[in-house]
Structure 1
Amino acid sequence: MYGYTGNKAALVARLGRAEGQVRGVARMVEQDAYCIDVLTQISAATSALDSIALALLEDHLNHCVTEAAEHGGRVAAEKLTEASAAIARLVRS
């Protein structure tokens, strides 16, 4: 069981809204919407995905990394390295 399991329904709903935003951006481009309006909607979709990513990261830290840290050793080190890499990817994006 993963850390996000308890929030799965909420995460799926948020992902569905983000998916709708992206589809809306595609429609805007198809309909030749004003550039700035398209960029504004892309920014909103990006923010929505960033918010979802942060929620998943928090669940991962509170569940998977905490559980691994309790056991210690190589598994804990791997989970910390994995979490650090995920944070780095989020910061770069």
Structure 2
Amino acid sequence: MLAVSDPERKKALLLRLRRIEGQLRGIQRLIEADTDCERVAQQLAAARKALDKSFFIMVGCLIAQGDTPPDDVADMLARFS
């Protein structure tokens, strides 16, 4: 089972996800304000990159726990990347 048990890692990940949540609310406001598509796309790309980084932090957590064989980690990366 994957769990973020390290308190510092957990705190950092939750903070990152809260920032992403704020980014997504900001994107919604841009769309509601009829902001040009390029600016909205730029913000979506930034949010996607932030989510990707969060995902890789979780993969690092999985690897650090040492319970998952390397082939399973590779399979997960292939499935979700």
Q: TM-score over 0.5 for the alignment?
A: yes
What stretches of structure 2 of length at least 5 have no aligned partner?
A: none
Letter in 1 for 2:37: C
CA contact (8 A) 1:22 1:45 kept: yes
Query: Where do 4+ consecutive residues of structure 1 move more than 4 Å?
Result: none
1:49: which partner in 2?
A: 51
Letter in 1 for 2:74: S
Hey, which of these two has a bigger chunk of helix by percent? 1
Aligned pairs, how many? Answer: 79
What percent identity do the matched residue pairs reach?
32
Q: Per-residue CA shift, 1:17-42, capped at 9, x if unaligned?
A: 00110111111000000100000000
Which of 25, 38, 41 is the aligned partner of 1:39? Answer: 41
CA RMSD in angstroms, aligned pairs only: 2.0
Residues of 1 paired with 2:52 and 2:24: CA distance? Answer: 14
- With normalisation by structure 2, the TM-score equals 0.84
Letter in 1 for 2:4: Y
- With normalisation by structure 1, the TM-score equals 0.74
Residues of 1 paired with 2:29 and 2:79: CA distance? Answer: 29
What stretches of structure 1 of length at least 5 have no aligned partner?
A: 69-75
1:12: which partner in 2?
A: 14
